[in-house]
Copies of this chain bind each other. A is one copy, B any other.
Amino acid sequence: MTSSDLQEQLNLKALNLLQEDADKIQKLIEVQMENLATRYCPLYEEVLDTQMYGFSRQVDYAVRVGLIQELTGKQLVNKLERNLALLYEAMNNRE
């Protein structure tokens, strides 16, 4: 394997893992949105905020190591933040 193959492979792995984590948080947000509709479970704002923080730290780290582009990282975080903002807006509209 050449070094550029390895770099490509690592970059892909780094990005895929981030995408997996983003999907998990997205799933959490969706579950919270469903709960909001059914009032079945309490909302865990803090849990989501903590997840988002952890995720943004992972992304930041991947950028610093040089595994993903800064712009790609920003896009991953922004997408989740938008969904989280929508959730909080929906919560506030209920109160």
Residues of chain A at the chain B interface (Cβ within 8 Å): 1-3, 5-7, 10, 13-14, 17-18, 50, 53-55, 57-58, 61-62, 64-67
Copies in the complex: 2
**Known: A3-B1, A3-B6. Is A17-B64 also a contact (CB below 8 A)?**
yes
A95 and B66 CA atoms in complex are apart in Å by 46
A6 and B13 CA atoms in complex are apart in Å by 16
A43 and B57 CA atoms in complex are apart in Å by 23
Chain B residues with CB under 8 Å of A6's CB are 3, 6-7
Chain B residues with CB under 8 Å of A57's CB are 54-55, 57-58
7 A-B residue pairings within 8 Å (CB atoms): A3-B5, A3-B6, A6-B6, A17-B65, A55-B57, A62-B65, A65-B67
